Amino acid sequence: MNPPTTATPRAPINVTCPSCGERTVFGPTNPYRPFCSARCQGHDFGAWASENYRVAANGGAEPSEETPE
């Protein structure tokens, strides 16, 4: 039988908020992570919803609609 393990809590990680650039805690104490607040999280969600973020398409040919025989 293995002895019980005691998990040592990790030190909180500080990250930069992707919306405003403010330093914030990335951990269970921050429900909006990786954002610093509900406002920044909502701003980012709004940008996605209004399609401000886009993935660039590569200039390759579009798939052919022809079916092989």
Kindly report the CATH number assigned to the domain that includes residue 26: 3.30.50.10
Structurally, how many domains does the chain consist of? 1
Choose between 20 and 2: higher pLDDT.
20
Domain membership flag for residue 60: no
Question: pLDDT digits over 22-52, tens only?
Answer: 999 999 999 999 999 999 999 999 998 888 8
Residue 66: its pLDDT value, please?
64
Q: Measure the CA–CA gap between 69 and 66, rounded to whole angstroms.
A: 9
Confidence of residue 55 (pLDDT cuts 50, 70, 90): confident
Looking at the whole model, is its pTM more than 0.75?
no
Residues of the domain holding 42: 13-49
Closest CA to 18 of 33, 1, 30: 33
Residue 69: its pLDDT value, please?
57
Domain membership flag for residue 42: yes
Q: For all residues of the chain together, what is the average pLDDT?
A: 84
Given a contact cutoff of 8 angstroms between Cβ atoms, the answer to whether 43 and 19 are in contact is yes
Q: Which residues make up each annotated binding site?
A: 17, 20, 36, 40
Q: Which residues make up each annotated binding site for Zn(2+)?
A: 17, 20, 36, 40
Domain membership flag for residue 43: yes
Is the preceding peptide bond at 34 cis, omega within 30 degrees of 0?
Answer: yes
